[in-house]
Amino acid sequence: MGRPAVFLDRDGTVVREVDYLRSARDLRLLPGAAEAVRRLNRAGYVVVIATNQSGVARGLLTEDELEGIHRTLIERLGRRGARIDAIYCCPHHPQAAVARYRRRCRCRKPRPGMLARAARDLDLDLARSVAVGDSARDIEAGRRSGCRTVLVRTGYGAKAEADLRPPPDHIAANLLEAASWIVRRAKRTE
């Protein structure tokens, strides 16, 4: 049996939503994000970021620039005692400006490809895992993967909440509240 994971969307969940984060200089952790990741780490979860990054497909940044942003994110969280075990991203978009990224892929949320790939790569048990995000796409990817789901009201979450049918397993004000719910729920089911 694989390990449980928490799949986190990046923008609007862990970092401030800025409509296409293009530079590590603009990366801002949301309040409580590092503490939330630390709690998940201590509870034994593999913490994975799974993020659509169509800015690459739109020509707004390169894959190298995106990797730099992710290195900065991992470093900033690490300085606060929080560990991200892996980052999976989808740079594709069906109407991409950059031809090599123009396609309908299996990894772009709401499809479950990133979560499925992470499960294979990292020996994860999706049925014991949770997907957390601020959009219907994040929740649907988690649901399609067989994960529990949590919508956070940060980023686009407050707007997405009214339209989610069926609703996620939990709705939290932010990632810290989501992490607390995940850890409490796991203790009740042990």
| Residues tagged active-site | 9, 11
Q: Is 186 exposed, middle or buried (0-12, 13-18, 19+ CB in 10 A)?
A: middle
What residues contact residue 76 under an 8 Å CB cut-off, 6+ apart? 27, 29, 34
What residues contact residue 177 under an 8 Å CB cut-off, 6+ apart? 152
User: Six-digit token pair at 116?
Assistant: 């499925």
Q: Is 128:89 a contact under the CB 8 Å cutoff?
A: no
- Sign of the CA dihedral running 115, 156, 31, 11: positive
